[in-house]
Amino acid sequence: MGSTKRTTIRLSDERQRLIDQAKGIVADGPDDDPPTSDVIDAALTHLIQSQKNLEDARDELDPATIQQFNTDVVALRYRTRIESRWR
């Protein structure tokens, strides 16, 4: 049986605020309180899908249109590559 890696994440006030905000997006309704692991899974999936969507769209749309969908994390620059601005 495989082992599960466990990590404790220290939550600064800002990180907790972001997680709480993301929980509201992931929740099934106003009374749902999804676990943080579900929120992290959703955020990672969204990041990967967003990058793929930008890569796929750049062959069909002009750079100015695609740049409207840039985020602080994933952005298309000069129609040549997608880069992460996160780190």
Q: What does the pLDDT read at residue 11?
A: 84
Is 53 contained in some domain?
Answer: yes
65: phi then psi, degrees, rounded to nearest 5: -65, -45
Blockwise average pLDDT, block size 10, the chain, 87 residues = 73 91 93 93 93 87 84 68 60
Domain assignment of residue 65, given as a range:
13-25+33-84
Is 51 contained in some domain?
Answer: yes
Is 54 contained in some domain?
Answer: yes
Supply the pTM of this predicted model: 0.71
Structural domain count of the chain: 1
Is 60 contained in some domain?
Answer: yes
Q: What does the pLDDT read at residue 79?
A: 47
Q: What does the pLDDT read at residue 82?
A: 57
Distance CA 27, CA 13 (A): 21
Q: What does the pLDDT read at residue 87?
A: 54
